Structure 1
Amino acid sequence: MARPPNAISSFTNIDMAEKSVSDAIKVNKEWIKIWAASRPGHNLNIKYDTGKAIGYSLFRGSQKLTPATKVKVVLKYELYNGKPYYILTAFPEV
């Protein structure tokens, strides 16, 4: 059985989500190229600190929202819409 998460998180809004993910991919484009060229059998986890609040996290047992400045982007290597990989998920982290 899967362990429940220690926290949940959400971006402030869709524009903030798109900008944060886009920036994370741009900053890591060389790593992404190397990863994709190796035809990996694993996902690529990218963590990027935006330097500003992009959303909030709520930790288990807490009633206080914590501002999140980092974004985690997970890329999956699998052909999709003619591209070799796609964004599997992305979410804010503290």
Structure 2
Amino acid sequence: MGGLTEHVQTLEALCHRYLNQPNDELERAALVRGLAGFRMVGVTDDQPTIVRGLAAQCHAYAGLLSDDLASAKSPDASVRRLCGLLADLREALD
């Protein structure tokens, strides 16, 4: 589970950095890359059900957020929601 934990922590940090500087194109680009990387992380069947469920929610939400970031929409509320899901997943992984 180390890989998933690291990706969750990284993406959570990127979300917070983006929220602190939402008009910074470099932070936006870093978040887009982080979302793409996170969506490629696999979750195995031997992980607890809560981890698999939260990871599935985070993966789905990351996909929606990627679309929002690619458009002109302001995704701040979506980024905050993903931060909450990631925090829940991080706690489940501990």
Choose between structure 1 and 2 for higher RCO, CA contacts under 8 A separated by at least 6 residues: 2
Q: Normalized against structure 1, the TM-score is what?
A: 0.30
Q: Normalized against structure 2, the TM-score is what?
A: 0.30
More helix by share: 2
